Chain A
């Protein structure tokens, strides 16, 4: 039986402790900056720690490279900027020595904050041994192996070229573990059929933890005047790594896959579209020990962490959680395979007429996009039969277009000013749900622009819960019994 408890308020838990521990890497809070432009140098990271960030994964250190410009492009949605961000920037373009010197400096001034060195070097044992030792000597609290970069470096046999081949990932992880004395996290690429394959390889290679996900391969769009995809680099483009709010659902799913697979499961730092405390809480509920943030910090600056800390603490207080461990992973058992879901469960849409504004988006969505159970013509009482009523959307529109309308003029038309808007929605525009037909798909409540106007109400079927697996099993039994009876 699925657990259907709700976690309601428990009063008076003062200032929850949000300290995080990822495979032994400690930080005062779970909010880390991901390895990316916001963690490019010591000066930036010190300012970030001042703003409140608990940790920072240093922008990947390796043989310095040359970057192109421009290197970012983004997707806007409905007037909002940067729903999704795409980049073709590569690892640090600053010399290894400079980065290491600054790591030492930062650790000296901010001993309590976590500094994790993200590493990427050519795939030889010597190169990895050297960079691991150098990073640890500089004072890094942990290492993150960048097996995820989907662009540029992969063409040189690094980044996701490693992360997409479990054998390579396992081999390099084991090389690192030969010399590492600090925790080693492997950062996973989502650009693979089954993310668990590489997670298992990392675990076999001895990784102490994981980070997921890296960016997703993407082309954000094409300039319809020049025909050049974005970002435009001197008239051409390249696929890049996609991140930002748009990728969160994908990241959550991949995190769940890793965390519910015993062969992959390791302490995990969640990444992907995290911009608020709510996003962070969701990742933590799926088992993450910390979260990493990049796009939101690129969009709004380091200051966003203040609300992330405050919001998470307030939520924890409301729910009665004293530490992250109190709720970490609580949502994992709620994710099931479809075959375990209850088939004997029904909900139907209910339209609250007092809230309806008469946009009728639910009506057209139900007719065209769902199961034709919402109607505009009102009949008294339920009517049986499948096509219960009568006017389809095109009929409604045609009728309304055929009407002759004139501009109401105060003196000529004796306008009753009390009849002016805003007033209650005319009954003719308030849709009606045929509950006998409603399949409870939820689409109407998703398109409704008014909060709490369409709610999904449970219908008691008077049947015990039964999943598809149970049903097919009982049908198989019944069939066997029937055969036996013949």
Chain B
């Protein structure tokens, strides 16, 4: 395998001071913008992703505020129907393409994965950097769409509307197309990294479950994303050249577009949720100090979910006029994916049994995840069942369902994971009390925002509505108040982390007593990650880790140190 290792990198201004870490090893904008170090790329992704999240979040708040009154809170001179449509479209598109798809894999995955395999970097550092640059470029196209004529198609770009609207569909689709490449690059890199760079002793079934999750995600990224790319290209061709692929006025088929689109976008939902599940597996185990229950099942179920996820796209189209037979088949397949997800929840619970549960902030997020993700998952049953989906499709029930899964699932896990790895990433400890407090605020705000949406949705409130009939007013108002609380909670949660950069206590190498390899290097990691190649043990065996009050973290128990270990001496 001819790969570039950090030794051969031409890194700008890097110094070899043994006391320096990856943050201090070199300085200046260029040393970041063109770094090949996976850790810096991860951090840059983190900044980028949070900026997108912020932008999408502001839009969400505007949407929610507007919906406070049936005819809109803001006068039409500020938010008219057109503006509302653009807001929900860009909110959805930014959250999906710029934020949530890259969030865990590209930011946390990039930082953590090479450390987890005890390596110096990912398999293809240059490709990794390119994936980030592509992400920035894709983001720029979104910004172009935003500041020019914007976009009002919904993030789904359904034809024929997307072919007729005068908004900037081209800029947005080019953006999404480029982001697709970014995503493919990340996925490819992770697959090769996991396949070729695992240290001796780390067999497939000794890998941390986060790695399994990222691996399964990468498979989807590589297989599904090209379909989106092609679909978007066809859409552009259709808009520019007026050829009849999707536009019925020209003899095209608008339903074909939906098939193409969901063939990518349904698996994309698993790009969002699988890495989150991986994080939760790590957190449940570490903070309960118990080996994860049913490791093999969790590992296989990630792959099963990834593969089955390709077969269920048709459930987005139950009322599109597809034949009843097709609908029945898709409904059946849809239920088949729900089982592995359900069982994961049972596994996480069983992991806590007889444990020593540390209710640190990341664990609070993990518990919150189980609560919210269960609601998200269970409400999927209503949508998978044909008779009920007819009524619920394209209502706020769906809006609530996917926010419970994506925001309540993925975002909560992401923040939990961020809190977990934060001391490793930046070498500082945050304030636990505030960390937990804002986790609670987020939890309350979240439920207040999205639970009423289940009720109004099942009562018939359609989604993507700028105005609505007064019957739904009370539910919208609860939801809007919830969104404000949720917004404050998220801002608080991020502030706790940022503040810690300035006044946080210095983090030990292993503050939580985790057994995966990233905790064996110093916090923050040195430029080359490890001073010595780490010894591979079981990722979930905590027995030889003891808390050392002097270090303020966990260290190897000397009594257990003589135990023979499979390791990679050289």
- Asked whether A and B interact, the reply is no
